[in-house]
Chains A and B, each alone.
Chain A
């Protein structure tokens, strides 16, 4: 029996108004995209700059709402929920890794990892966070602030933070974009290892064909349309 579908987009599109003063009509960023991703699967979204990759990621993760169509995440219709409803779904089922890490500069490594657990009201946040940091090889650097860590270390903290809630779906937006090749490779290995060991679904936005090829499937976008 195949794994259940954990994330599904049904004919979603995103249309925005042109900037003020422009004579052009509404801009279509994403046009009629449909996809379904099963639990444990990994999907790479590729395409040139401006192809709509980040927009698709935002819609799939419930960070934004589509102009038309539906997004179902872990059985929740994101398009039917309000901002707080979507936030609750994200808190329970979603993890994120970003290109620019997005660590809170005023928090130490462990505090950054504790953050999503604390938002869920977990009392064991510190212990769990320490364990995950150990797993990503930063057990000795828990009390360091982001600016005291190298780029690779920062991204490992971000990965620990993303996995600490054992999310059903992990979204990664250009996770190696700010890292050198060797560090990028190490971070990618870590990402895929955790993906496998936790059984989460991985949605990866990248320019990097090699990285994309490590995923089970590739979705290519061109000017807002699905190419393959």
Chain B
């Protein structure tokens, strides 16, 4: 007869009897986890791709920290290109006494040349596309500012020395860096207003951008001309490069979430293996019978494989439907970070889920099934006749290869795959050993407890191997969730607490030389002390030991970026606070005016520059050469102005620059800032508290999203538990029948079962809390450099959650077995 028809019938029966429920659940959790992440990242990638053509707001964009020459725009216009320009800088926006750090973007008419700006009449109102730009005196602001400053459309805000009326809510601009947004909310104003703000002064940190668009050939011709004409420090961006950068950013985030979802796949694979073995043990007798009646091996195998494939397909269908809804949760959690409308997901992740399910079935379920077809028909006469044992070594190799293939498809990075493989292997061994130790410990406890507990604990240690698998599977999911909670709640707080109370919380930059005295007087007058002012001169590294910077090879990405970007030079007679001399010597008064430079340890490490080496700099067109006199270790998180490159006094005197300083303001002193910005409009104020708050919120959201994905891991842990319960169901039914025949009440047996699973859950909790605390301590020590505070909540949460979750789900799953009247069980046997 038709194997497919037979398989369908078998499937229906097995589903009805619950034999396939664990297998189906395990596959479904894996699919759910993969597709939830897959659909979400797919939507992000699609949004990025859709916006890639307009992400520059132009076809070609040139950026510089200096104003762009007019000849660029004239040449482009002569070549038939449309042009626009913008200036962008970070500054504070004020409304009354409240202020907020923003990204100010002043645009000329025509902006954007590609894509459209969307605005709304009210915060979070319905957005519409516009071809206009803000009129002079108007500002279009990010909806976040409306809440942060407690303003509305029509309110007047102050930016630098100028006042603007909020005319529209800025909903979207093409070059906002789609996907994951810049931290500071944007304020769009007319380029004609930028002078009135008085924010742009010599040495100000402004990005000037030229935007060009036209026919591809005209753009290509202009690009060629621009390449030959552009000055150092000017950077050309075109679509290829911008989409490459975006894609790599998206790929990195996707990879991370995918790796998180893999943890569920791995655990689900364990449950699949357990489920498949159960399937075999439940079907071995009927297979022997069918063979006895003439069914060939091929037929048996076809039925089993078809049935498994049908289960797999059902899992893909159900799991990806759930995944689709689950990804909405992820999108909701990350809604503040995704400042764009996401298109609907494509069905692509379903294909990956299908491939994963097939790989899991082939790797973990097929080997036992192959054994099933070898069932000797003589088993119908003697139960002791079994199929020849399977070479499990080989089957595990197949399973491992299948899993690695899935990981590779997800991350496409062989180094990462192998790193992950050995990482997981190592973690698995450590966890398994810990689990094994804990299980052994339960043996010793049995003597001192009542009958139910003794029965429960005896079961934990008797089913040693299975208990370890369950503890590890469950403990792993719980551990990651706890760890993320530690990072999110404890470590960031600990780190913030580790900073001294009077650590400066506001940076003042762009102070003109002539503003030094009045500014210090202003600070003094408002009780903010006399903080040291540090000169800041912008320069580029031209040569190191006579070799042109761009010719240096073998540098890390960081090293290269040090050479490519503009540097801030300063001078100081004393070794600055938070600095420690590693090698060389600090200069004395006699060294004033000598061409010496002190570098930070980062330069030594990434550029391989040492004491005695010579470095030359371009300072506003003038070349300055200096010898490295010392290397310093800088503590950057001290929140005091610090510099990679420090010169002795007298060397940079002729160079035009600005000054910076940092001050500590308590809540009562904050209004002083408003007056300061009004009196010194070009001075930019950076509120460190606000920046930290924004970073906290990003980390919060991101770790919530990762925790969300790890919830699937916990679900996979529950499935492993169910698989273990199912595989011991017959044994448990018999045990329960025996105990009840011997006079134990149903309650005592059920208490024993509850004791067993609660003990397993407790041990998982111990493992999870220990692991999370251990890794938390490592992170605190190595990454955050803070004292790790023992968190009793972590332990309480781990132990209570583990005990409750495993105890309740295990007991519920076993209840039916215990409730079977003993006579029914004993008759069956």
Contacts and interface: CB of A to CB of B under 8 A. Distances in A.
Given A58-B378, A96-B380, 6 more contacts: A87-B377, A91-B295, A102-B285, A115-B290, A118-B1, A118-B6
B11 to A, nearest CB: 11
A87 B376 contact: no
Contact of B296 (A64, A88, A107): A88
A153 to B, nearest CB: 15
28 contacts: A58-B381, A61-B292, A63-B292, A63-B377, A63-B380, A63-B381, A64-B377, A64-B378, A84-B296, A84-B297, A87-B296, A87-B297, A90-B292, A92-B294, A96-B380, A98-B380, A98-B381, A104-B286, A106-B14, A107-B13, A115-B290, A116-B293, A118-B6, A119-B293, A119-B299, A120-B1, A121-B1, A173-B381
A5 interface: no
B217 interface: no
Contacts of B296: 83-84, 87-88
Interface in B356-384: 376-378, 380-382
B126 interface: no
B375 to A, nearest CB: 10
A90 B294 contact: yes
Nearest to B14: A106
Nearest to B10: A106
B471 to A, nearest CB: 32
A146 B76 CA distance: 88
A87 B289 contact: no
A107 B295 CA distance: 17
A28 interface: no
A226 B14 CA distance: 45
A54 interface: yes
Given A87-B295, A91-B295, A102-B289, A63 B378 contact: yes
Interface in A84-104: 84, 87-92, 94, 96, 98, 102, 104
Contacts of B294: 87-92, 94, 116, 119-120
A33 interface: no
Interface string A14-50: 0000000000000000000000000000000000000
A57 interface: yes
Interface of B: 1, 6, 13-14, 16-17, 285-286, 289-299, 376-378, 380-382
B160 to A, nearest CB: 80
Given A63-B377, A64-B378, A118-B1, A104 B289 contact: yes
B629 to A, nearest CB: 79
B295 A106 contact: no
B1 A119 contact: yes
B256 to A, nearest CB: 45
Interface string A49-93: 000001001100101100000000000000000011001111110
Nearest to B289: A102
B86 to A, nearest CB: 72
Nearest to A114: B1
B378 to A, nearest CB: 4
Interface string A127-162: 000000000000000000000000000000000000
Given A84-B296, A120-B294, A63 B376 contact: yes
Contacts of B381: 54, 57-58, 63, 98, 173
Interface string A170-183: 00010000000000
In order of increasing CB-CB distance, the 7 nearest A-B pairs are A91-B294, A106-B13, A84-B296, A63-B378, A118-B1, A64-B378, A116-B293
A61 B14 CA distance: 30
A102 B378 CA distance: 13
Nearest to A123: B1
A104 to B, nearest CB: 5
B390 to A, nearest CB: 17
Contacts of B17: 106
Contacts of B286: 104
Nearest to A107: B13
A94 B377 CA distance: 13
Contacts of A54: 381-382
Nearest to B16: A106
Contact of B297 (A83, A102, A115, A173): A83
Contact of A119 (B295, B376, B378): B295
A118 B294 CA distance: 11
B433 to A, nearest CB: 30
Contacts of B378: 58, 63-64
A87 B285 CA distance: 16
Nearest to A91: B294
Nearest to B6: A118
Contact of B380 (A84, A102, A115, A121): A102
A92 B294 CA distance: 7
Contact of A115 (B16, B293, B299, B377): B293
A107 B10 CA distance: 10
B289 A90 contact: no
Q: Which of B376, B377, B382 has the most CB of A within 10 A?
A: B377
B377 A91 contact: no
A224 B576 CA distance: 100
A98 B383 CA distance: 13
Contacts of A121: 1
A96 to B, nearest CB: 6
Nearest to B377: A63
Nearest to A92: B294
A166 to B, nearest CB: 14
Contacts of B1: 118-121
B13 A90 contact: no
A92 B291 CA distance: 12
Contacts of A116: 293-294
A118 B290 CA distance: 11
Contacts of B14: 106
B74 to A, nearest CB: 85
Contacts of A89: 294
Contacts of B376: 63-64
A26 to B, nearest CB: 17
A119 B300 CA distance: 11
A64 B380 CA distance: 11
Nearest to A162: B293
A61 B376 CA distance: 13
Which of A89, A92, A94, A102 counts the most chain B CB atoms within 10 A?
A102
Contacts of B377: 63-64, 87, 90
A119 B292 contact: no
Contacts of B13: 106-107
Given A54-B381, A58-B378, A102-B285, A96 B295 contact: no
A119 to B, nearest CB: 5
Contacts of A90: 292-294, 377
A22 to B, nearest CB: 15
A87 to B, nearest CB: 5
Nearest to B294: A91
A107 B9 CA distance: 10
A89 B298 CA distance: 16
B290 A119 contact: yes
A94 B381 CA distance: 15
Nearest to A205: B381
A154 to B, nearest CB: 12
Contacts of A106: 13-14, 16-17
Nearest to A86: B377
A118 B13 CA distance: 17
Contacts of A87: 291, 294-297, 377
B13 to A, nearest CB: 4
A125 B295 CA distance: 16
A116 B380 CA distance: 15
Contacts of A119: 1, 290, 293-295, 299
